[in-house]
Homo-oligomer: A and B are copies of this chain.
């Protein structure tokens, strides 16, 4: 109860897809976690953590493993405890179930009114301060929208509530820079790498709302569902593009046979 994870959201988490007791993209999850621990000055024994995680996933078999690391218990007040005894929490859940048409025919994105705040010291991290995502997700109930787009106060595109976003423009693959806001997803990183390996031009930079609306193709991604083509957002309609299909093919090993889609 005195844990600073609860008191201040003083910690980080990872949501890891587990199949046959093995984590997908494990190295990327661990790398992001290590980076987050360093930036927040949370000591982290990655070797111990990895062995706990692997035992946990073996037992889980198939599902989602959520790993939370907090700064642990502290006295009253914001000052970091010294010494610090971080807490590691592992939670299992079933894979979420999405309609198979999301990946096949594309999704509609909700136009969230919330504007993400800019905090470079926290940008990119999957930390436990997620009230913005909670409020943004509460903006729509209509199941016709699979996800919602999040902009910042300058109308730059940042990400979606639980996904990253990519656009294709003139055969270039672009995704927003996350230097001031957003969560740097492991699937985003994996996609950038695999696209580059496949000879696709890859650009990470600020993307305006206008650039998103004028894109040739748009898709979202995360580590659980892979890639969803976007077929509608605000004024625009898209059909599923060839670059999006190619990238779905390139990450097929991470999604194929996955029980997270239902027909």
Nearest Cβ distance between residue A202 and chain B, in whole angstroms? 28
A34 located at the interface, meaning its Cβ lies under 8 Å from any Cβ of chain B in the complex = no
Of A18-26, A77-85, A185-193, the stretch lying at the interface with chain B is: A77-85
- Chain B: minimal CB distance from A113 (Å): 9
A110 on the B face (CB < 8 A): no
**Which residues on B sit within 8 Å (CB–CB) of A89?**
1, 6
State whether A131 touches B122 (Cβ < 8 A).
Answer: yes
Cross-interface CB contact of A6 among B78, B128, B133, B137, cutoff 8 Å: B128
Specify how many copies of this chain sit in the oligomer: 2
A40 proximity list for chain B (CB < 8 A): 131, 134-135
- A5 close to chain B: CB less than 8 A: yes
Q: Check if A153 is an interface residue, CB within 8 A of chain B.
A: yes
Q: Which residues of B contact A78 (CB under 8 A)?
A: 130, 133-134, 136-137, 161-162
Asked whether A8 is an interface residue with its Cβ less than 8 Å from the other chain, the reply is: yes
A9 touches B (CB below 8 Å): yes
Residue numbers in B under 8 Å from A137 (CB-CB): 77-80
Query: Nearest chain-B residue to A91 (Cβ)?
Result: B1
Q: Is A17 engaged at the interface, CB distance under 8 Å to the other chain? A: no
Question: 5 A-B pairs, CB-CB below 8 angstroms?
Answer: A9-B131, A78-B136, A78-B161, A79-B137, A80-B137
